[in-house]
């Protein structure tokens, strides 16, 4: 059983066939699907699942804090099931590939108290941008990433 399914069961969340399929599609360490990609994969397992059900289920999972929405420069939101593992994202500026990374250190500790403007900071999001190996291989010599 996936980590996400185990967490949802632990919360007592009613696992309908549709919810289970969405959770199963999201299972994995480097999964960052759009809602449409989740729907396309869910249909393979449960042909009658509607796009609206997928969107609603993703919204519920985000509200529960079990899935993170990841936004990338004008592209469709992606959904990350690794909400309970501290990590950041490495995003390809060209193709939009997203990978989870685990840099050492504490980004919140790197922000001095006087630069927090009195905020009670609850989360830090850092996104590293660049070119994935495939896109970098097609980059003309001398061109900046």
Binding-site residue positions: 92, 95, 132, 135
User: Hey, is 128 helix, strand or coil?
Assistant: strand
* pTM (two decimals): 0.78
How does pLDDT run across 32-64, given as a tens digit for each residue?
Answer: 999 999 999 999 999 999 999 999 999 999 999
| pLDDT of the residue at 56 | 97
* 75: confidence class by pLDDT, cuts 50, 70, 90: confident
| pLDDT of the residue at 127 | 86
Domain ranges for the chain: 1-84, 86-137
For domain 86-137, give the CATH number: 3.30.1490.190
**Nearest one of 111, 110, 78 to 92, comparing CA atoms:** 78
How far apart are the C-alpha atoms of 55 and 125, rounded to whole Å? 23
Asked, colleague to colleague, whether 1-84 and 86-137 share their fold, the answer is no
Which phi and psi (to 5°) does residue 60 adopt? -65, -45
| pLDDT of the residue at 108 | 66
How far apart are the C-alpha atoms of 43 and 38, rounded to whole Å? 9
- For residue 145, pLDDT beyond 60: no
How does pLDDT run across 83-106, given as a tens digit for each residue?
Answer: 877 788 899 989 888 988 887 776
CA 18 to chain CA centroid, Å, is 20
CATH topology of domain 1-84: Arc Repressor Mutant, subunit A (1.10.10)
Binding-site residue positions for Zn(2+): 92, 95, 132, 135
Sheet holding 33-34, edge to edge: 33-34, 78-80, 68-70
Sheet holding 127-130, edge to edge: 98-101, 88-92, 127-130
């Amino acid at each position: 059983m996936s980590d996400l399914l185990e967490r949802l069961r632990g919360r007592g969340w009613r696992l309908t066939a549709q919810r289970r399929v969405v959770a199963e599609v999201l299972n994995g360490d480097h999964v960052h699907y759009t809602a449409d990609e989740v729907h396309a994969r869910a249909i393979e397992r449960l042909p009658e699942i509607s796009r609206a059900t997928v969107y609603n289920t993703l919204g519920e999972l985000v509200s529960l804090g079990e899935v993170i929405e990841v936004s990338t420069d004008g592209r469709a939101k992606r959904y990350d099931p690794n909400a309970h593992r501290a990590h950041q994202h490495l995003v390809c500026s060209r193709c939009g590939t997203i990978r989870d990374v685990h840099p050492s250190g504490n980004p919140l500790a790197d922000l001095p108290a006087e630069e927090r403007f009195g905020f009670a900071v609850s989360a830090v999001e850092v996104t590293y941008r660049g070119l994935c190996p495939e896109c970098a291989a097609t980059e003309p010599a001398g061109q900046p990433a």
